[in-house]
């Protein structure tokens, strides 16, 4: 197969998953690493306090900015994947309205969250960024539905390059976080222009219409996901918002320093879920067996990844933080160790949530998310004043554990897809076995004393070899039991 055709066209289901995973993975890795480099530079250059101010403003705009999508992107992807294209022009107009509403709400909210003019100014600038970014998602939804994620990937890579390059240059020139906020806005506008050009070139001009009937139709389908997204924003960003509002700005900087590394850890979850989502949607319409097999495959990949990430993250936390930042950020070690456990829970919960979404159980997800949001707010109110960033990390981890339990129960009871079966359970045991061997290896004093990158490499090799051995034993055992049954 010609390599250009393999990476730019949809030929078969397996090839399409590989192609989309490649492009989304490339975009997430490049953009994630570039933004991490930028924020590490900001943290090193400006210190934890100024970094905390920027992350406080970012958390606030992300908290309120979640209304700008309101679940419309996922519903649009689902409907277009199921060959419902006629409403797209009206969906675009709906997203324009939601983006403008987002800017208004963020501007008003800024006067209530902080009396500091500089922080409010950052919030106003980032409000434009989140509104434009949310609007980009309507084009991304179209390309995801048609499993042409390369266009989204190219747009995101360019956006990350501009954000990082311009951000570092402006920080060096002006030494303030406002200049960083401007780099976010400009890069997002460039990303919107690029993805719009790709869309017009591939699909032609789609007239923008204001059709209240279609608006109502999509809002009725999307509101559970929209409110779920708001709830998710609450238990993702309310902690930093509350710490900043309480005056714990430096602690907010430490906490977000740890969280930014966790966001890199979560990149595989994002790219896997985005690649499998259209296939899950299609297979739900075609066959329950196909849906179960696709789910099993996605969960198997997820389990393979999370076990070493959690074990390695907990053991190597001090080295990881000093590698990315400097010893002044070591107070974030415990928060990082708690958050790495949370990351593993998010990996699994994302897969379970996808099944509920493609099987049209959005309302159940909303109820679960609402419980999670309320739980998280209560835990943060109780724990942050007493334990600061460690209380925030614990609140987030406990919230996601509760979400995982509730999502598992919902999927077991209201869908035909089994969340766990013997195949998944064996994969889990093999991953635990391989992670344990990796743990024993990287805890050897000689290995633990070398450079962090070499430790990660050694750990990855040991884990992979142990996993392969475990899968080989499983395969031989299956052949043996099959032979015995057939005798």
Q: How crowded is residue 132: how many other Cβ atoms within 10 Å of its Cβ?
A: 21
Q: How far apart are CA 71 and CA 249, in angstroms?
A: 31
Calculate the alpha carbon distances from 217 to 76, 221, 269 in Å.
11, 6, 30
Burial of 216 from C-beta contacts in 10 A (0-12 / 13-18 / 19+): exposed
pTM of the predicted model as reported, rounded to 2 decimal places: 0.77
Contact 130, 106 (CB under 8 A): yes
Q: What is the pLDDT of residue 481?
A: 64
Calculate the alpha carbon distances from 481 to 290, 351, 422, 475, 478 in Å.
25, 31, 14, 10, 5
Longest dimension (CA), the chain: 80
Q: How far apart are CA 73 and CA 95, in angstroms?
A: 9
Q: How far apart are CA 306 and CA 272, in angstroms?
A: 13
**DSSP single-letter state for residue 330:** G
Calculate the alpha carbon distances from 65 to 62, 231, 436, 455 in Å.
5, 12, 41, 39
**Which DSSP string do the residues of 126-172 spell out, in sequence order?**
HHHHHHHHHHHHHHHHHHHHTT-HHHHHHHHHHHHHHHHHHHHHHHH
pLDDT in tens, 162-177: 888 888 888 888 878 8
**10-residue stretch averages of pLDDT, the chain, 487 residues long:** 60 65 75 81 82 88 79 72 66 81 88 84 89 79 70 79 85 83 86 79 70 77 76 83 88 90 83 78 78 86 92 94 86 95 93 86 80 91 93 94 93 85 89 94 93 94 94 78 63
Q: What is the pLDDT of residue 7?
A: 56
- Token duo for residue 358: 């493609």
What proportion of the chain, given as a percentage, has pLDDT over 90?
26
Q: How far apart are CA 155 and CA 148, in angstroms?
A: 13
Burial of 475 from C-beta contacts in 10 A (0-12 / 13-18 / 19+): exposed
Q: What is the pLDDT of residue 84?
A: 58
Q: How far apart are CA 357 and CA 215, in angstroms?
A: 20
pLDDT in tens, 72-122: 777 777 666 665 566 677 777 887 888 888 888 898 988 888 877 888 899
Contact 314, 374 (CB under 8 A): no
Q: What is the pLDDT of residue 440?
A: 95
Smallest CA-to-CA distance from 157 within 202, 186, 203, 194 is with 194
Q: How crowded is residue 210: how many other Cβ atoms within 10 Å of its Cβ?
A: 13
**DSSP single-letter state for residue 419:** S
Helices (H), 146-287: 149-174, 177-203, 212-245, 249-265, 267-286
Q: What is the pLDDT of residue 46?
A: 79
Q: What is the pLDDT of residue 83?
A: 57
Q: What is the pLDDT of residue 159?
A: 79
Q: How crowded is residue 189: how many other Cβ atoms within 10 Å of its Cβ?
A: 17
- Token duo for residue 333: 């070690």
Listed in sequence order, the residues at least 6 apart from 351 whose beta carbon sits closer than 8 Å to its beta carbon are 273, 295, 298, 299, 302
Burial of 220 from C-beta contacts in 10 A (0-12 / 13-18 / 19+): exposed
Smallest CA-to-CA distance from 54 within 119, 2, 137, 113 is with 119
CA atoms within 13 A on the CB side of 353: 24
Q: What is the pLDDT of residue 461?
A: 95
Listed in sequence order, the residues at least 6 apart from 77 whose beta carbon sits closer than 8 Å to its beta carbon are 141, 144, 145, 277, 278, 281
Q: How far apart are CA 97 and CA 321, in angstroms?
A: 41
């Amino acid at each position: 197969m010609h390599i250009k055709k393999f990476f730019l066209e949809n030929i078969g289901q397996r090839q399409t998953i590989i192609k989309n995973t490649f492009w989304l993975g490339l975009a997430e890795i490049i953009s994630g690493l570039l933004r991490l480099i930028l924020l590490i530079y900001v943290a090193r250059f400006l210190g934890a306090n100024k970094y905390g101010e920027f992350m406080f403003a970012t958390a606030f705009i992300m908290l309120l900015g979640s209304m700008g999508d309101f679940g419309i992107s996922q519903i649009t992807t689902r409907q277009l994947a199921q060959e419902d294209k006629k409403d797209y022009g009206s969906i675009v107009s709906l997203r324009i309205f939601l983006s403008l509403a987002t800017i208004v709400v963020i501007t008003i909210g800024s006067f209530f969250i902080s009396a500091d003019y500089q922080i409010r100014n950052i919030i106003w600038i980032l409000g434009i960024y989140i509104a434009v970014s949310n609007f980009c998602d309507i084009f991304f939804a179209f390309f995801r539905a048609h499993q042409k994620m390369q266009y989204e990937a190219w747009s995101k890579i360019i956006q990350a390059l501009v954000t990082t390059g311009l951000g570092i240059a402006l920080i060096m020139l002006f030494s303030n976080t406002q200049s960083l906020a401007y780099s976010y806005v400009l890069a997002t506008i460039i990303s919107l222009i690029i993805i719009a050009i790709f869309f017009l070139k591939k699909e032609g001009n789609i007239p923008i219409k204001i059709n209240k009937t279609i608006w109502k139709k999509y809002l009725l389908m999307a509101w559970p996901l929209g409110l779920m997204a708001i709830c998710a924003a609450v238990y993702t960003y309310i902690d930093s918002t509350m710490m900043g509002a309480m005056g714990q700005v430096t602690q907010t900087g430490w906490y977000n320093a740890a969280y930014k590394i966790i966001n890199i850890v979560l990149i595989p979850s994002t790219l896997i879920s985005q690649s499998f989502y259209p296939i899950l949607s299609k297979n739900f319409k075609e066959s329950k067996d196909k849906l179960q097999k696709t789910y099993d495959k996605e969960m198997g990949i997820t389990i393979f990844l999370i076990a070493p990430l959690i074990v390695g993250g907990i053991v190597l936390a001090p080295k990881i933080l000093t590698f990315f930042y400097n010893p002044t950020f070591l107070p974030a070690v415990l928060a990082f160790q708690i958050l790495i456990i949370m990351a593993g829970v998010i990996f699994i919960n994302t897969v379970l949530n996808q099944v509920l979404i493609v099987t049209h159980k959005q309302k159940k997800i909303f109820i679960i998310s609402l419980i999670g949001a309320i739980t998280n707010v209560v835990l943060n109110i109780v724990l942050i004043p007493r334990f600061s960033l460690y209380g925030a990390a614990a609140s987030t981890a406990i919230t996601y554990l509760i979400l995982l339990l509730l999502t598992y129960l919902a999927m077991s009871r209201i869908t035909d897809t089994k969340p766990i079966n013997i195949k998944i359970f064996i994969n889990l045991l093999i991953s635990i076995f391989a992670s344990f061997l990796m743990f024993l290896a990287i805890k050897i004093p000689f290995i633990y004393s070398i450079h962090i990158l070499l430790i990660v490499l050694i750990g990855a090799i040991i884990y992979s070899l142990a996993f392969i051995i475990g899968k080989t034993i499983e395969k031989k055992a299956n052949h043996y039991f099959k032979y015995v049954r057939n005798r």
